[in-house]
Amino acid sequence: MPPGLSGDMLQVEGPRGTTVSIPLALDAEAGVKSLTLAVDGGGPTSLSVTTGTMQANYTHSFDIPGATTLGTVFNLVFTLTDEEDAITRVTAMVTTTKSIDTPSTYEFSRNGETSVSYSGQIERLDQLEAIKAYIKTADGGAVVSEQVFLDMFANTGGDGAGNFTFTSTKQLKDKTFVPDLDAQLFEDMFARAAAASVDGNAGVEATNGTAGLIVRENSGNTVLVDENGREFTQFIEKGLMGAVLYNQIYNTYLTDVRIGNDVENFELSEGKNYTAMEHHWDEAFGYWDPPLDFTSPWPSERGSEDRFWSHYSNTVDNVNNGLLGTNSLIMTALKEGRTAIVNNDLAAKDTQRDVLYGAFELVAAGTAVHYINDTIGFLGEGKTGEAFHVLSEAWAFTNALRYSPQRTMDLGELETIMETDFGSDGNFWNATVLGLNTAKSKIVAAFPDLAPVQDDL
């Protein structure tokens, strides 16, 4: 027997966008005259009931609006008036609950179809792969062309002017950190790499002040470095990982403009199976592009499934059994954040966003320390060619700490590490173990999570 209109309190719950049933037992000895409903103190509206009956079951269907945020409670006051004008009331509290629980993998659907899409990000990562492959030919002594770089960077003609094996409407250049574009940072690097590749092709050996090729002792392969010993491949590839991939995550997709509380999160985007807020979160995910079930520790036999930043997360995730756990840290935040968006749980979404700002930086900082350790290790073996390579990596990952609006280290500090601690006057030939250890201790001090694993990284 459902509760009657005798002052009972009804507790009902359901996810947003659904209809919940509120069962009422109407009980009026003098006969029912009318039934009204007031929602959240609003004016009463009449509900259609059979008048004159003494007892009846009545079920009210309440639509929880789709735009409702998680946890919102609606107070529904039902008022029954009998033929003698006696009044009884009952309040039903409708609580908005979760639509979904956090899934174990980054998979979300709506009406049986996936609601996740980040094809544009994948296309840009593919373009970066192509640029990396091209600059690497210069490491082997090939001459590379500035124009080819520029065409790939701006995706001229939709296929990088014929330099991509695919077509795409996206480009890296228009997503590059604007101050870097203002400074022509990458265009300048392309021009210098092209010029240096001519020397590399002529067999010029890099020395202090002269760009050219350096032999990496372990493999016997060469890398092309500039007059300061900086490897073009690392500066360009990892440079763009910071200036495009992290920049887009930090300064576009995790910002209020894209995932703030005012962004549409109910109506689906036209012709799509996602809301705008969902899609923007997925686009941040796409720039990280991990396997959908990425976790910590990650099995080595699946090591080829991660890419760019997710790859380096895995590099520092579980070092010498010292679990930094960046894979899980980031995946959990991405999954919980996306779930929160589906549930319209705006506070939880913001919480996970903050976790991500910290965790993405932790990957860059940890990787920088990893390569500083490698540099010191190679110097311990007297392998300067290897040292130039890994120091170039260390520089580029430190550089990636520039891009977050919530950056942990300030720009001046980063500048000192990159241009002095990694070799005075911005010259890697001047790098010393003392300077490298100084840089390492600064980064570890700024990221205390790194302290327990700093020597294992």
Partner 1 sequence: MKTQYRFTYLALLAVGLMFFGIACDSAGDNEEPLDPMDPPPVETFDRAGMLDNVANNIILPAYAAFQESTDALQAAVAAFAGDPTAATLVPAQDALKATRMAWQEVSMFQFGPAESVALRGVLNTYPTNTTQINDNIVAGSYTLGSIQNIAAGGFPAMDYLLHGEGLTPDEIVAQFTSDADASARVQYLTDNVDFVKSNTDFVVQQWAANGGNYVGTFLSEDNGGTDVGSSLGQLINAVVLHFERFTRDGKIGIPAGVRSAGVPRPKATEAFYAGYSVELAKANLESIGRLFSGVTAAGQDGLGLEDNLDFIEQGALADDIVTTLQESITAIEGLSDPLKAQIDDDVNKVVATFTKMQELVVLLKVDMTSFLGISITYQDTDGD
CB nearer to partner 1: give 338 or 383. Answer: 383
CB nearer to partner 1: give 269 or 430. Answer: 430
- Check if the beta carbon of residue 49 is closer than 8 Å to that of residue 58: yes
What six digits make up the tokens of 425? 């006057």
Candidate list 64, 116, 387, 409; residue touching partner 1; CB under 8 A? 387
Rounded CA-CA distance 255/55 in Å is 56
Stretch that binds partner 1, among 29-37, 243-251, 403-411, 425-433 (CB under 8 A): 425-433
Would you count residue 218 as binding partner 1 (CB under 8 A)? Answer: yes
13 sits in which H/E element: strand 9-15
Strand partners, 32: 82
Q: Roughly what angle, to the nearest 10 degrees, separates helices 276-288 and 326-342? A: 170
Would you count residue 456 as binding partner 1 (CB under 8 A)? Answer: yes
Candidate list 6, 119, 208, 261; residue touching partner 1; CB under 8 A? 208
Would you count residue 433 as binding partner 1 (CB under 8 A)? Answer: yes
Stretch that binds partner 1, among 41-49, 342-350, 397-405, 430-438 (CB under 8 A): 430-438
Candidate list 16, 428, 439, 444; residue touching partner 1; CB under 8 A? 428
Would you count residue 372 as binding partner 1 (CB under 8 A)? Answer: no
Candidate list 322, 415, 419, 442; residue touching partner 1; CB under 8 A? 322
Stretch that binds partner 1, among 15-23, 106-114, 276-284, 388-396 (CB under 8 A): 388-396
Rounded CA-CA distance 325/371 in Å is 18
b/e per residue 287-326 (b: at least 16 CB within 10 A): bbbbbeebbbebeeeeeebbbbbbbbbbbbbbbeeeebbb
Would you count residue 384 as binding partner 1 (CB under 8 A)? Answer: yes
What six digits make up the tokens of 368? 């920088």
Would you count residue 300 as binding partner 1 (CB under 8 A)? Answer: no
Rounded CA-CA distance 100/111 in Å is 13
Would you count residue 297 as binding partner 1 (CB under 8 A)? Answer: no
**Amino acid code (one letter) for 121:** Q
Rounded CA-CA distance 37/5 in Å is 12
Rounded CA-CA distance 272/293 in Å is 24
In the bound complex, what is the minimum distance in angstroms from residue 20's beta carbon to partner 1? 52
Would you count residue 455 as binding partner 1 (CB under 8 A)? Answer: yes
Would you count residue 320 as binding partner 1 (CB under 8 A)? Answer: yes
What six digits make up the tokens of 333? 């935040």
Candidate list 2, 65, 157, 380; residue touching partner 1; CB under 8 A? 380
> Phi, psi (5° rounding) for residue 67?
-90, 5
Interface residue list for partner 1 (CB under 8 A): 208, 216, 218-219, 221, 229, 320-322, 376-384, 386-389, 391, 423-424, 428-434, 437, 455-456
